[in-house]
C-alpha cells in the first residue's frame, strides 16, 4: 500500500508513513484533507506552519486513460484559502510506482539557509545543493537537472518567481517530452515551495515498483470501455486534439462571453487572429505538432508544440485561457507575442491567467499601452528579479490594482477570473463565486451547459438553473480531481450514460476497494466539505462569495447583461 | 444652522443642504453615519460610489479648549472598512464659521480629466485648475496656494502619494503656523481624495460668519471649568507640553511594550537616543520650539518645531508614534534622520505609522539594512513617483509583506499596529483587534490604564479587565471624536469627577440642544454601531478581529508574554 512521505524542510528529516486516516483518499480529496487537518487555518501561507502536499489520484500509476493528473495542495498565499492546484506531467503516475501516495513538505528553513533540491530514490530522500540552478529559468534549469539526474528523471520545480515568493508562482512538472511545461498554475503554490526553500523535487528514474490492478480482469474491461467513451465524444476526440483548448476562442467570442479589455466587452475584434484554428494552421505551417498529451496515457492529446517562424520550438501547453488573457483581455493581437509570453510564464514559473490579467490591469493603469505585446514581454521578464516592477506584476491582479490605482479588478478571493465572463456564462460565474479556490473555471465548468451544449443546456445569460448546475459540477469536479483524472473526461462522461459507473468501476478494480457511484459522489462532496471547513475557519464567509460590484453595475456587450446573483442565493451552490 | 455641502466631483455641481437626518451629529458620528447610509459597503474604495466626508465636531467653531479636531470619513482603500481619520489644523473650526457642518465629495471624474482644487467661498464652490502644483510636495504646494489664495487661506490637500492613489496617503491640513503639517493620517483617505481628482480644498480666509454659543452664559462657565480640568492634570499640563507625545518613548520602553525590530522585542537599546527628553533637549539647543498647538484654542500644546543643527525648521507634529516607527521598530538611531523622515511623510502626504512599519518590513525582507536611516529616506522619496518601489512602500505593510516575502506583519484588517505591543499592553491590543478602524491606538487608548495609571490601573500583561476597558474607551473615544475634541482631553477627563458632565454641558450650551452625559455615551455607542454595521455589510466578521498568529506563538521579551485572547472573547469589546 503506497505510503505518505513526510519531509521536514528545516530539520531535513523524513518518514515514510502508512496512510492511516488518509487511506482511500487520493488527489485533491487527499491534499485538502491533509491541509484541513494539519494546517492552522489562520496561519500565514508562507510560514513554517503551512504545508505543501503532492498527491496522485486514486487511479494514479494505472493505465486508465487520462488518469495521470497531480494535485498540489496548500494554503494559498494568493487567496488565503485552501488550494488545490492541478497539473499534468509525469509526476503523478510516477509516485505510486515508487510506492508513494503523497509527499508532504513541512516546516521551513531558517532565513540564512540555502535552497535545496530533494532527490527521492527508493526509500531515500536527499537534500542536495542546487546553487548551480538558483535564479535560473525553468527550461535551462530542467536541462541541468537532466544532466545531473539522467534524462528520465521527473521533476517538480519552481522558477525565479517561486524562489522570490511571488503569489502567482507555479510549480512546473516534467512532461512526456522532457520539458518543464506542465504547471500547477493557480494560487501561488510555487511560493509555498519557495518559502520552504525547495527548488525542485526529483523523482529518480530508476526507482520503479511493479504496480498492477487488484482486479486485473475487471480493470481491463472498464479501461477499454473508458477509452471508447473518450474516443467517441466529438469534443475529446476531434475538437481538443485538432485545435487544442484554444478552439474555444471563436466559440466563446461567438457566445459574447470572451472577456475583452479587462472585462469591458464580451467580444474581441481580433478573435480570429488568436483563434485555435489560426494557431493550428500556424503550427502546421511551421512543422510544429498539434496533438501532444500532458501525461502518458492521455488519449485526448490537447497539447501541442508551437514553433516560431524559423521552425524552432517556442512553447507547448498553449491553452485557451493563456491565449485569451494576453490576447483578448490585454488586446495583444500578435499570436507569436502571446506564445512568447506563454513560454516566459513557464520559464519564470508563473500562472498565465493571473499574469495575463495583471498585464491587462497594468495597461488599464497606463503602465504600458493596450495591446503592446513587446512591452508586456518586458514586464513579465522582470518577474523573479529584484526589480520592484517584477514584484508587483508577479503578485497578480489584486496587487497590481493597488499598485496602479485600478479599481476594475475581476477577482474573487483575490484570484482573478479566467476566460469566461461571469455575466454571460453564469454557470461558471457561480463557480467563480462559490468554489473554495477563488475564481477558477476548472472547479465547476458551467461552460459545458451554458455554451457547448454538453450534458444538457442551461441559459448562461439567466440565473435560473445555474446555481444547481454549478453545485453539481463542483462535486463532480472534486471527484474527478481526486481520482487523478483529467477534467476534460467530463465532456465525454456528461454525454455517456455509463460514464460515471465506468469511472467508479475503474477505481474499484484498480484499488480493490468497493467503490460505487455513490462513493464517487461522496468523494467529491467530502472533499468540498474539507475545503469549505478550512476556509470558514480561516475567516471566509458568504460575503467573500460576491463578485466585484462592476459586474452588477456594468452591462456586458453584446448581450448587455449584468450579474445579478446575490451572495445569499449563491450559498445554494455549496455542499 | 450649519449646512451640508455636497459636491459632485464629476459633474462639478454642488448643493448646500439642511442637515436633515444628520442633524445633532458631528465629527466622527456624522462622517460614519453618512458613509454607512450612503456608500455601498462592498464598493471599491476608489470607485465613484465611495464618498469622502469632512466634518467638524459638535463643538467645532466654538471657543471650548481643544475642540478644533476634524473628522474625515470614507471607505478606506487600505482596510476596506469604514474609516474616520482625525486631524488637527484650522479646517474644523473654520467650517462652522462658513455655515458648513460637513463637506461631502461624491462620484469621480473620468480617467482623462485633470485634477482640480476646490475653492469654497461664501456660498460658492469653484473647481480651479491646479496644474501648477500637481506632483509637488505639500510644503511648496501649500506655499503656492497661499500665494494664490492669501496666506490666511485654510487648505486640506493631498501630496504626490494621494495623487497616485497610494493606500497610505494622508490629507494634510493647514496648521496655525501656515504649514500643511497636520494629517488625517490613517487608512489612505488621501487616496480617496486623489481618486476624485481633488488636489486641495481651500476655505476662503475672508468668509467668516458670526458663530456664538446658543446659551452664552452656561457655555462660558463650562468653558472655564473645562480649561481648569485640562490645566490641572499632570499629563496635559506638564508631560505633553514639555516633551510632546514622544515623552512616551522612555515610558513604553520601560514597560517592555515598545515594539522593536518589526515587533520582535519590547525594549529598544537606543531608546534614550530617540526619547522625548532627548528631542526636547535638541529642540531647545537649536532654538526650536517645544510647545505648539495643532489648532487654535489648544491649551495642551504638545506639538513643536524641530530644527536641524543649523537652526532651520525641519518638522513639527513630530509624534511619539513616528519616532517609534522609524526609531525603535526600524532601528534607526539618528533622531535627525527620523525628523527628516517625518517631514518627508508630510511632504509626500503619507501616514508615518504605516510607512515606518513598512520600512521595518523592507528591512526584514533585506531590501535595505536594519537601522539605515539614509536608505529609508531614499525609499520614502520614491513614494508618489512612477518608481514601482515607491508604489510598494507607499501601499503599506501588508503590501510590502507580499512584495518582499515577509510573513511577520503586525496587521489588523490590513492596517499596521502603532507603537504599543499588544502582547504587553493588552488593553490597546483589544482595541487594535476590535475597533472598526483596523489596528488603531487612538480608537481606545488602553495605555492609560495599562501603563500610565490614568483613570485607574489594569494589568496590560493579562487578559483580565482589558476587554471591558477597551470597550469603554472605544465608546468614550467615539464620543470625543464626534464632539471635535482632541483625544488628549481624555487623560484629564478620566481623572476628573466632573469631566464627562462638563463635556456634555459644553455641547448643550454651545448647540442649544439638550445634551446629557447619557447622550454623550449614546453618541459614542451609535457611532460605533454605524461603523460595525458598515463593516459587517462589507463582509467583516469576528475572524477579522484576530491578531496575526505570531503574537500568539512568539513571546515578547522582556516579559515573555504572548497575546492569548481569542476572536470569540474579543467580541465582548464591541458595542
- The ipTM is 0.94
CB spacing of B539 vs A546 below 8 angstroms: yes
Please check whether the two domains, B3-203 and B213-241+425-575, share a CATH topology: no
Distance CA B234, CA A359 (A): 58
Q: How far apart are CA B249 and CA B451, in angstroms?
A: 12
A135-A137-A138-A139 Cα dihedral, nearest 10 degrees: -140
**In chain A, what is the straight-line distance between the N-terminal and C-terminal CA atoms, in Å?**
31
Predicted local distance difference test score (pLDDT) of residue A567: 87
Q: Which among B195, B407, B543 has CB closest to A539?
A: B543
Cβ–Cβ gap B407/A47 under 8 Å: yes
Mind listing the pLDDT tens digit for each residue in A336-385?
Answer: 999 999 999 999 999 999 999 999 999 999 999 999 999 999 999 999 99
**Chain A contact present for B113, CB below 8 A:** no
Residue recorded with cell 465547476: A444
- Distance of alpha carbon B168 from alpha carbon B456, whole angstroms: 35
Q: Which residue of B has its CA nearest to A406?
A: B46
Interface check A122 vs B, CB under 8 A: no
Question: What digits encode the pLDDT tens for the residues A93-152?
Answer: 999 999 999 999 999 999 999 999 999 999 999 999 999 999 999 999 999 999 999 999
Give the three cell numbers for residue B271.
531608546
Residue B1 in this model has a pLDDT that exceeds 80: no
Q: What share of chain A is helix, strand, coil (3-state, %, to 5)?
A: 45, 15, 40
Find the mean pLDDT for residues A429-434. 98
**What are B332-335's contacts with CB under 8 Å, separation 24+?**
B332/B371, B332/B372, B332/B373, B332/B376, B333/B270, B333/B273, B333/B274, B333/B371, B333/B373, B334/B273, B334/B373, B335/B273, B335/B274, B335/B278, B335/B279, B335/B282
Whether B543 has its CB under 8 Å from any CB of chain A: the answer is yes
Nearest to B167 among A46, A402, A544 (CB): A402
Q: CB-based contact (8 Å) between B90 and chain A?
A: no
Q: Contact at 8 Å (CB) between A425 and A404?
A: no
* φ, ψ dihedrals at B242, nearest 5°: -75, -40
Please tell me if residue A193 touches chain B, with a CB cutoff of 8 Å.
no
List, for residues B75-132, the tens digit of each pLDDT value. 999 999 999 999 999 999 999 999 999 999 999 999 999 999 999 999 999 999 999 9
Minimum Cα–Cα distance from A536: chain B residue: B543
By Cβ distance, the residue of A43, A392, A541 closest to B549 is A43
B388 chain-A contacts, CB cut-off 8 A: 387-389, 391-392, 403
* Chain A residue with Cα closest to B48: A407
Quick: pLDDT tens for B202-217.
999 898 888 999 999 9
**Which residues, 6+ apart, have CB-to-CB distance to B197 below 8 Å?**
B9, B108, B109, B113, B114, B115, B116
* CB contact set of A484 (below 8 Å; sequence gap of 6+): A26, A27, A56, A57, A58, A59, A60, A67, A68, A69, A70, A71, A92
What pLDDT, on the 0 to 100 scale, is given for residue B163? 98
Angle at A304 between CA A56 and CA A455, to 5 degrees: 65
Q: Which among B191, B388, B395 has the least Cβ separation from residue A389?
A: B388
pLDDT digits (tens, 9 = 90+) for B130-144: 999 999 999 999 999
Q: How would you class B522 by CB atoms within 10 Å of its CB: exposed for 0-12, middle for 13-18, buried for 19 or more?
A: middle
Q: Give SS3 for B15.
A: strand
- What is chain B's mean pLDDT, rounded? 97
Cβ contact, residue pair A404, B391, below 8 Å: yes
- Say how far apart CA B463 and CA A526 lie, in whole Å: 39
Q: φ, ψ for residue B73 (rounded to 5)?
A: -120, 145
| Residue A544 in contact with partner chain B when CB distance is under 8 A | yes
Partners of A539 on chain B (C-beta within 8 Å) are 541, 543-544, 546
* Among B residues 475-514, those touching chain A with beta carbons less than 8 Å apart: none
pLDDT digits (tens, 9 = 90+) for B40-89: 999 999 999 999 999 999 999 999 999 999 999 999 999 999 999 999 99
Contact B70, B91 (CB under 8 A): yes
Q: Which residues of A fall within a CB distance of 8 Å from B391?
A: 388, 392, 403-404
CA–CA distance, B389 with A90 (Å, rounded to integer): 40
| Residue A327 scores a pLDDT above 90 | yes
Fold exhibited by the domain B244-421: 1.10.569
Question: Which architecture characterizes domain B3-203 according to CATH?
Answer: 4-Layer Sandwich (3.60)
Rounded to a whole number, what is the distance in Å from the CA of A316 to chain B's nearest CA? 30
Q: Rounded CA gap, B205 and A435, in Å?
A: 57
| Minimum Cα–Cα distance from A192: chain B residue | B405
Residue-wise burial string across A488-504, b where 16 or more C-beta atoms lie within 10 A, e elsewhere: bbbbbbbbbeebbbbbb
Smallest CA–CA separation between B426 and chain A, in Å? 21
- Which chain B positions have a beta carbon within 8 Å of A47's beta carbon? 407, 549
Q: Is B404 on the interface with A (CB under 8 A)?
A: yes
According to the model, what pLDDT value does residue A382 have?
98
Residue B44 at interface with chain A, using a CB cutoff of 8 Å: yes
pTM of the model: 0.96
Is B407–A46 a contact, with Cβ atoms under 8 angstroms apart?
Answer: yes
The H or E element that residue B258 is part of is none
> Is any Cβ of chain A less than 8 angstroms from the Cβ of B116?
no
Q: Please give the C-alpha separations between residue B163 and each of A386, B137, B189, B367, B394, in angstroms, as whole numbers.
A: 26, 11, 11, 25, 12
State pLDDT tens for residues B553-566.
999 999 999 999 99
Is A441 within 8 Å of A428 (Cβ atoms)?
yes
Q: Which residue of B has its CA nearest to A399?
A: B399
Residues of chain A with pLDDT > 70, as a percent, come to 100
Instruction: For residue A539, give the nearest of B44, B389, B544 by CB distance.
Output: B544
Contact of A160 with A385, CB cutoff 8 Å: yes
Q: Which of B378, B478, B396, B381 is nearest to B437 (CA)?
A: B478
User: Is the CB of residue A46 less than 8 Å away from at least one CB of chain B?
Assistant: yes
Q: What DSSP state is assigned to residue B69?
A: -
Helices (H), A255-351: 276-285, 320-324, 335-348
Note the helical H segments in B484-558. Answer: 489-494, 499-511, 517-537, 550-553
Q: How far is B108 from chain A (nearest CA, A)?
A: 12
Cell of B525: 455607542
- Asked if A392 and B389 come within 8 Å (Cβ–Cβ), the reply is no
- CA-closest candidate to residue B342, choices B350, B333, B331: B350
Distances (CA, A) of B489 to A295, B229, B266, B300, B330: 71, 9, 28, 9, 30
Count of CB contacts below 8 A, A vs B?
89
Matching CATH number, A213-243+422-575, of 1.10.10.60, 1.10.599.10, 3.30.870.10, 3.30.920.30:
1.10.599.10
- Confidence label for B319 from pLDDT (cuts 50, 70 and 90): very high
Query: What would the pLDDT profile of A531-566 be if each residue is shown by its tens digit?
Result: 999 999 999 999 999 999 999 999 999 999 999 999
Whether the Cβ atoms of residue A572 and residue A434 lie closer than 8 Å to each other: no
- Give per-residue burial for A382-418: e unless 16+ CB within 10 Å, then b: bbbbebbbbbbbbbbbbbbbbbbbbbbbbbbbbbbbb
Q: Which residue has the cell 483518499?
A: A25
Can you spell out the DSSP letters for A34-85?
HHHHHS-TTS-TTSTT--EEEEE-TTTTS-STT---EEEEEE-TTTSSEEEE
Residue B152 has pLDDT above 90, yes or no: yes
- Whether residue A407 has pLDDT greater than 80: yes
Cβ of B402 and A399 within 8 Å?
A: yes
A272: pLDDT strictly greater than 80? yes
**What's the confidence (pLDDT) of residue B217?**
98
Q: CA-nearest residue of chain A to B410? A: A44
Of A400, A185, A183, residue with least CA distance to B402? A400
The C-alpha atoms of residue A72 and residue A189 are separated, in whole angstroms, by 7
- The alpha carbon of residue A436 is apart from the nearest alpha carbon of chain B, in Å, by 16
Query: CATH second-level architecture of A245-420?
Result: Orthogonal Bundle (1.10)
pLDDT in tens, A52-83: 999 999 999 999 999 999 999 999 999 999 99
Task: Please tell me if residue B50 touches chain A, with a CB cutoff of 8 Å.
Answer: no
Å between A536 CA and nearest CA of chain B: 9
Distance from CA of B47 to the nearest CA of A (A): 6
Contacts 24+ apart (CB under 8 A), A370-375: A370/A261, A370/A330, A370/A331, A371/A330, A371/A331, A371/A332, A371/A333, A372/A332, A373/A326, A373/A332, A373/A333, A373/A334, A373/A337, A373/A338, A373/A340, A373/A341, A374/A337
The alpha-carbon gap from B404 to the nearest alpha carbon of chain A, in Å, equals 8
Q: Is B389 in Cβ contact with A403 (below 8 Å)? A: no
Give the start-to-end residue ranges of the domains of chain B: 3-203, 213-241+425-575, 244-421
Helix B466-483 with B517-537: angle, nearest 10 deg: 100
- At the topology level of CATH, where does B213-241+425-575 sit? 1.10.599
Average pLDDT, chain A: 97
Residues of B in contact with A191 (CB under 8 A): 405
CA of B49, closest CA in chain A: separation in Å? 10
User: A541 and B541: CB-CB below 8 Å?
Assistant: yes
The DSSP letter of residue A382 is T
Cβ A219 vs Cβ A508: under 8 Å? no
DSSP E strand stretches across A124-245: 124-129, 154-157, 171-173, 182-184, 198-203
Q: With contacts defined as CB-CB under 8 Å, which chain B residues touch A115?
A: none
Given this model, what pLDDT does residue B369 score? 98
Is B403 in contact with A389 (Cβ distance < 8 A)?
Answer: no
Q: What is the largest CA-CA distance in chain A?
A: 62
Q: In this structure, what are the phi and psi dihedrals at residue A421, rounded to the nearest 5 degrees? A: -70, 125
CA-wise closest residue to A343 among A189, A532, A138? A138
Q: Does B42 touch chain A (CB under 8 A)?
A: yes
Identify which of B223, B246, B203, B204 has the alpha carbon closest to the alpha carbon of residue B59. Answer: B223
pLDDT in tens, B371-403: 999 999 999 999 999 999 999 999 999 999 999
Q: Does any CB of chain A come closer than 8 Å to the CB of residue B168?
A: no
Q: Which of A280, A265, A270, A234 is nearest to A250 (CA)?
A: A270
Which pairing describes strands B198-203 and B411-412: parallel, antiparallel, or unpaired?
Answer: unpaired
At residue B207, the pLDDT reads 87
**Cα separation of the two ends of chain B:** 31
Distance from CA of A42 to the nearest CA of B (A): 7
Confidence class for position A209, pLDDT limits 50, 70, 90: confident
**CA B146, CA A478: separation in Å to the nearest integer?**
65
- Tens-digit pLDDT profile for residues B181-238: 999 999 999 999 999 999 999 999 898 888 999 999 999 999 999 999 999 999 999 9
Q: Which residue from A40, A392, A407 is facing B388, i.e. has the nearest CB? A: A392
Amino acid at each position: 500500500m503506497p505510503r505518505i512521505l513526510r519531509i521536514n524542510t528545516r530539520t531535513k528529516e523524513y518518514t515514510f508513513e502508512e496512510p492511516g486516516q488518509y487511506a482511500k483518499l487520493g488527489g485533491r480529496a487527499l491534499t485538502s484533507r491533509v491541509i484541513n487537518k494539519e494546517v492552522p487555518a489562520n496561519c500565514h501561507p508562507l510560514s513554517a506552519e503551512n504545508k505543501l502536499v503532492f498527491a496522485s489520484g486514486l487511479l494514479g500509476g494505472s493505465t486508465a486513460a487520462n488518469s495521470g493528473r497531480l494535485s498540489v495542495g496548500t494554503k494559498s498565499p494568493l487567496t488565503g484559502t485552501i488550494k488545490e492546484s492541478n497539473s499534468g506531467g509525469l509526476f503523478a503516475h510516477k509516485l505510486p510506482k515508487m510506492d508513494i501516495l503523497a509527499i508532504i513538505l513541512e516546516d521551513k528553513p531558517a532565513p540564512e539557509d540555502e535552497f535545496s533540491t530533494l532527490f527521492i530514490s527508493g526509500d531515500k530522500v536527499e537534500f542536495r545543493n542546487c546553487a548551480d540552478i538558483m535564479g535560473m529559468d525553468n527550461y535551462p534549469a530542467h536541462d541541468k537537472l537532466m544532466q545531473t539526474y539522467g534524462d528520465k528523471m521527473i521533476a517538480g520545480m519552481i522558477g525565479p518567481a517561486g524562489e522570490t515568493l511571488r503569489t502567482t508562482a507555479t510549480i512546473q512538472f516534467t512532461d512526456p517530452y522532457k520539458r518543464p511545461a506542465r504547471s500547477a498554475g493557480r494560487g501561488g503554490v510555487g511560493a509555498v515551495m519557495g518559502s520552504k526553500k525547495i527548488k525542485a523535487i526529483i523523482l529518480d528514474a530508476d526507482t520503479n515498483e511493479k504496480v498492477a490492478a487488484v482486479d486485473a480482469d475487471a480493470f481491463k474491461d472498464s479501461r477499454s470501455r473508458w477509452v471508447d467513451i473518450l474516443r467517441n465524444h466529438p469534443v475529446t476526440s476531434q475538437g481538443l486534439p485538432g485545435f487544442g483548448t484554444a478552439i474555444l476562442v471563436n466559440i466563446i467570442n461567438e457566445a459574447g462571453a470572451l472577456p475583452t479589455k479587462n472585462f469591458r466587452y464580451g467580444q474581441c475584434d481580433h478573435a480570429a487572429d488568436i483563434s485555435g484554428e489560426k494557431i493550428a494552421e500556424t503550427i502546421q505551417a511551421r512543422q510544429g505538432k498539434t496533438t501532444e498529451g500532458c501525461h502518458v496515457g492521455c488519449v485526448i492529446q490537447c497539447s501541442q508544440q508551437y514553433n516560431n517562424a524559423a521552425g524552432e520550438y517556442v512553447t507547448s501547453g498553449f491553452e485557451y485561457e493563456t491565449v485569451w488573457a494576453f490576447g483578448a483581455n490585454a488586446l495583444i493581437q500578435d499570436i507569436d507575442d502571446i506564445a512568447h509570453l506563454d513560454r516566459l510564464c513557464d520559464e519564470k514559473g508563473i500562472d498565465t491567467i493571473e499574469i495575463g490579467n495583471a498585464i491587462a490591469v497594468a495597461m488599464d493603469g497606463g503602465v504600458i499601452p493596450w495591446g503592446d505585446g513587446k512591452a508586456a514581454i518586458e514586464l513579465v521578464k522582470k518577474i523573479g528579479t529584484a526589480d520592484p516592477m517584477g514584484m508587483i506584476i508577479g503578485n497578480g491582479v489584486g496587487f497590481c490594482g493597488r499598485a496602479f490605482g485600478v479599481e476594475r479588478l475581476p477577482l474573487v478571493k483575490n484570484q482573478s477570473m479566467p476566460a469566461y465572463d461571469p455575466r454571460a456564462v453564469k454557470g461558471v460565474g457561480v463557480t467563480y463565486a462559490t468554489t473554495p479556490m477563488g475564481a477558477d473555471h476548472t472547479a465547476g465548468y458551467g461552460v459545458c451547459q451554458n455554451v457547448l451544449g454538453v450534458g444538457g443546456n442551461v441559459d448562461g445569460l439567466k440565473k435560473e438553473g445555474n446555481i444547481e448546475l454549478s453545485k453539481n459540477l463542483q462535486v463532480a469536479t472534486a471527484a474527478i480531481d481526486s481520482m487523478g483524472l483529467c477534467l476534460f473526461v467530463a465532456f465525454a462522461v456528461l454525454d455517456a450514460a455509463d460514464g460515471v459507473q465506468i469511472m467508479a468501476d475503474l477505481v474499484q478494480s484498480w484499488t480493490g476497494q468497493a467503490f460505487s457511484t455513490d462513493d464517487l459522489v461522496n468523494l467529491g462532496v467530502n472533499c468540498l466539505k474539507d475545503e469549505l471547513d478550512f476556509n470558514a475557519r480561516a475567516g471566509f464567509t458568504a460575503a467573500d462569495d460576491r463578485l466585484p460590484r462592476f459586474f452588477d453595475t456594468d452591462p456586458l456587450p453584446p448581450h448587455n447583461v449584468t450579474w445579478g446573483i446575490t451572495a445569499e442565493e449563491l450559498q445554494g451552490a455549496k455542499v
